[in-house]
Amino acid sequence: MSAPLYNAEILRLAATIPHHERLPEPMATAEKRSPICGSRVTIDVAVDDEGKVSEVGLLVRACALGQASSSLLAANILGRTPAELAVARDALTAWLAREGDAPDWPGMDIFTPALDYTARHPSIRLAFEAASEAAAEAADTAAKAKV
C-alpha cells in the first residue's frame, strides 16, 4: 500500500512556512502560478556581495503540497546561490517526472507519494521555480551595481 498523499508531515510543513512575510525592499521578486489548480507563490529575495540569498520573504497561496514545498524551500534557502537554486529546481522537475533521483534538498522525500499525481507536480515546483528566478535576477542586479 502506498503512503497517503497528504500526510502529517506535509500538513505540518504547510502550517509552518518560515519567512512568510514579503520583504519591504527586495532586490528581486518572482511569482509563479499553477494553471491547473491556481496555486500561487511569490518570493522576494535579497542577495549579499557574493550573490548568495541573504533575505527571503514569501507569500504563499497554494494547496498543502505547494505550501509544504514552500516551507522546505524557505527553511533552507539562506546562503544558497542562484546556481544552487537552479540545480534544485531542475532536479525537482526531473525527479517528479521520474527522470532523475530525488533532489539534494532537505526533506524532499516527503513528496514521494506525489510522484504518481502529475497534476500536483506544478504546485510542488512553484516555490523552487520562483526562488531560482528571483535569486538569479537579484544576483544579476547586484553584479551590475558593482560595475
Confidence grade of residue 21 (pLDDT, cut at 50, 70, 90): very high
Question: In the numeric block, which cell numbers belong to residue 130?
Answer: 520562483
User: What is the C-alpha to C-alpha distance for residues 39 and 63, in angstroms, rounded to an integer?
Assistant: 6
Q: What is the mean pLDDT of residues 131-143?
A: 95
- Average pLDDT of the chain is 94
CA angle 110, 113, 116 (to 5 degrees): 140
pLDDT of residue 1: 35
Q: Which residues contact 60 (CB under 8 A, 6 or more apart)?
A: 17, 20, 40, 41, 42, 66, 67, 70, 127
Give residue 112's pLDDT: 94
Dihedral over Cα of 76, 79, 84, 90: its sign: positive
Cβ 96 vs Cβ 115: under 8 Å = yes
Give pLDDT tens digits for 47-64: 999 999 999 999 999 999
pLDDT, tens only, 94-122: 999 999 999 999 999 999 999 999 999 99
Nearest to 51 by CA among 18, 85, 76: 85
Q: How far apart are CA 140 and CA 71, in angstroms?
A: 25
Distance CA 12, CA 35 (A): 25
* Cα-based distances in Å from 53 to 35, 45, 86, 108, 111: 28, 7, 13, 20, 25
Q: What is the pLDDT of residue 2?
A: 54
Which residue bears the cell 549579499? 48
Predicted local confidence at residue 3, as pLDDT: 65
